[in-house]
Amino acid sequence: MYRKNEIIELNITALTSDGDGVGRAGEMVFFVPNTAVGDIVRAKVLKTKKNVGFARVEAIVTASPYRVEPDCPVSFSCGGCVYRHISYEAECAAKRQKVIDAVTRIGKLDGALVKDIIPSENIDGYRNKAMIPVGLNRDGEAVMGYYARHSHRIMHCLRCQLSPPVFNEIISDVYTFLKHRPSLIYTPQNRRGIRHLYLRCAETTGDVMFCIVAGSRHFDGDTALYDSLKEKYPQIKSIVVNVNAEDTNVILGRYTHTVYGKPYLTDTLCGLRFDIAPEAFYQVNRSQAERLYGKAKEYAALRGKETLIDLYCGAGTIGLSMADSCKHLIGVEIIPEAIENAKRNAERNGIHNTRFICADASQAAATLRKEGVRPDVIVVDPPRKGLTPELIDTIVQMAPKRVVYVSCDPATLARDLKLFTENNYSVREITPVDMFPRTSHVEAVVMMSRKDFN
Ligand code: SAH
């Protein structure tokens, strides 16, 4: 048995799905963050339970050939990147393995179904969205930046390499402004001030949306801040204030008002123009989203006569990118602003063969089935928790020829694929797509078809 604070030598032989290194010591398996496969490290034991333990690197005895010098000063404490110390090739291999592990262990599928990962062209500066928590430290000074790993402590940091340079400039300017006006910042006592900065940019136009998330509708903001931002950054086309009075870890509240400019951002994706409201989901890595949607479209294999259902459609992007290849498109999404965007996006792009429904995906699918809608292809793109068993059941009953599953969580994907394969569907192919370089997250797109249909 190993004791807390004991120093042990570990040979790192694998990575967990969160990107931590795994090393064995006798009967025990230790998890060691910030290591790479092939490292031999001296590590301090932090905690042990039964057969597993957690340890921290004290020294690298032999460095893995996959190691690179991390090029961010906070990469080991920040909750964002976990792979900044290994080469991008090694990262992609780890992410593909994460998908293989999930679909073989949880999904009971053949790992050979998992094709090569589609790497991201940009591995820095790719994020078109930043959520920056803002608060006061113990001395009452403004702090803003990113959450520390596994915590809700704000790590003061004004630069992130995953963000485009303009975000970092805006964040620094806002910090300089708030440093002298801490009373504008939210505290559990005032319940009013700034909780988050939320920035979005449209890669193709360069337009930026600046959003303040405040604790109360009585927060008026500061026109001096807005004026200086507008003057310095002509690309800021929209300034909005979102109000979130709740004490949950959801960042945005239900109420948003526009202080300046348009209430949405406009970007182009797959050759179409999309308006995106602050509340609506939009893929954070735009150019990689085009590759993801391209693969989804290939898997949908539409010939022009089909009825296509796009469940969890957000602002309509996936379905609309396929609408030229099908007869009729039905999109379903739970956020009202996103479905409004989807309707307008269809109209603005001259796409008329559509119907968009604002509802829970499971409920809407059940209703569509009762209406007698017979989709040929269903695309699903749920949040991390995946699909409900009821929705899978409804999809199976509607019996589309193909189901294309776009997933941001291999574990829930694998759980859902197992249910499909037990219910008359076969998984034909799985392609991992790296939408989020340097982080532990990986996307995957899957083609399934009905067992009696090839
Ligand atoms: N396909 C879109 C959005 C994917 S993100 C795109 O590529 O941009 C997942 C979407 O599911 C989000 O827009 C979220 O608001 C929506 N959503 C979450 N829970 C839902 C539910 N129960 N029913 C329908 N949509 C839901």
Assess whether 420 and 307 both reside in one domain: yes
Kindly give the number of the ligand 1 atom that is closest to the alpha carbon of 283: 8
Residue where a domain terminates, one of 24, 52, 67: 67
128, 274, 292, 333, best to mutate for ligand 1 pocket (most atoms within 8 Å of CB): 333
Question: Residue 32 maps to which CATH number?
Answer: 2.40.50.140
The CB of 284 under 6 Å from ligand 1? The reply is no
Number of domains, the chain: 3
Assess whether 147 and 255 both reside in one domain: yes
Assess whether 139 and 58 both reside in one domain: no
The CB of 281 under 6 Å from ligand 1? The reply is yes
Assess whether 158 and 225 both reside in one domain: yes
Cα(189) to ligand 1 centroid in Å equals 34
Cα(315) to ligand 1 centroid in Å equals 9
* Residue 73 covered by a domain: no
The CB of 293 under 6 Å from ligand 1? The reply is no
Distance between CA atoms of residues 329 and 437, nearest Å = 32
* Residue 81 covered by a domain: no
Assess whether 114 and 254 both reside in one domain: no
Q: In the prediction, which pLDDT does 378 show?
A: 98
Question: Residue 330 maps to which CATH number?
Answer: 3.40.50.150
Cα(280) to ligand 1 centroid in Å equals 9
Q: In the prediction, which pLDDT does 454 show?
A: 65
Cα(72) to ligand 1 centroid in Å equals 32
* Residue 60 covered by a domain: yes
Range of the domain at 401: 93-121+285-450
Q: In the prediction, which pLDDT does 222 show?
A: 82
Q: For the chain of 454 residues, list the mean pLDDT of each consecutive stretch of 10.
A: 94 95 96 97 96 96 97 90 96 97 98 98 97 96 93 93 97 96 94 96 96 90 91 97 94 95 97 97 98 98 98 98 98 98 98 98 98 98 98 98 98 98 98 97 98 82
Assess whether 18 and 136 both reside in one domain: no
Assess whether 300 and 435 both reside in one domain: yes
Assess whether 310 and 417 both reside in one domain: yes
Cα(448) to ligand 1 centroid in Å equals 20
The CB of 342 under 6 Å from ligand 1? The reply is no
* Residue 72 covered by a domain: no
The CB of 319 under 6 Å from ligand 1? The reply is no
* Residue 1 covered by a domain: no
The CB of 35 under 6 Å from ligand 1? The reply is no
Q: Indicate which residue's Cα is closest to atom 13 of ligand 1.
A: 314
The CB of 417 under 6 Å from ligand 1? The reply is no
Cα(402) to ligand 1 centroid in Å equals 20
Residue where a domain terminates, one of 232, 263, 294: 263
Assess whether 441 and 307 both reside in one domain: yes
The CB of 290 under 6 Å from ligand 1? The reply is no
Q: Among all residues, which ones are annotated catalytic?
A: 408
* Residue 279 covered by a domain: no
281, 288, 436, best to mutate for ligand 1 pocket (most atoms within 8 Å of CB): 281
* Residue 384 covered by a domain: yes
Question: Residue 206 maps to which CATH number?
Answer: 2.40.50.1070
Assess whether 62 and 102 both reside in one domain: no
Assess whether 300 and 429 both reside in one domain: yes
Assess whether 46 and 136 both reside in one domain: no
* Residue 86 covered by a domain: no
